[in-house]
Amino acid sequence: MCIAQRDHVLKDGAIPAKYKILMTMVVDAITAHPDGCKVLADRARAAGATEEEIGEAIEVAYLFGGTPAIVTAINAYP
C-alpha cells in the first residue's frame, strides 16, 4: 500500500481517524506484528486516542486472537 492510499483511508471521515488507526493496531496484534502495534498505538495517541481506548482495542484483539494477540499487543505500551 502506498503512503497516499494509507493517508486517504486512515483520515477522519464517518469513522474518526483514531478509531481507524486502532483497528489497524488490532489487526497487527492478531497477525503478530509487535513493532506495528507500537507504531500504531503511538499514531492513535497522536490522533487523540486515550489510554483507555487503546486498552479496549487490546481487549478486542485478545477476544479474537487469544493469548498470542495480547502478547503482541502489549507492545502498544511504552
pLDDT tens digits for 9-66?
Answer: 999 999 999 999 999 999 999 999 999 999 999 999 999 999 999 999 999 999 999 9
What is the grid cell recorded at 57?
482495542
Instruction: Tell me: pLDDT of 78 over 90.
Output: no
Instruction: Tell me: pLDDT of 76 over 90.
Output: yes
pLDDT digits (tens, 9 = 90+) for 58-74: 999 999 999 999 999 99
State the residue for C-alpha cell 481517524.
17
Cα separations in angstroms, 38 against 1, 13, 14, 76: 19, 24, 25, 4
Domain residue ranges in the chain? 15-76
Q: In this predicted structure, what is the pLDDT of residue 1?
A: 67
Q: In this predicted structure, what is the pLDDT of residue 52?
A: 97
Residue (of 46, 39, 51) closest to 18 by Cα position? 46
pTM of the model: 0.91
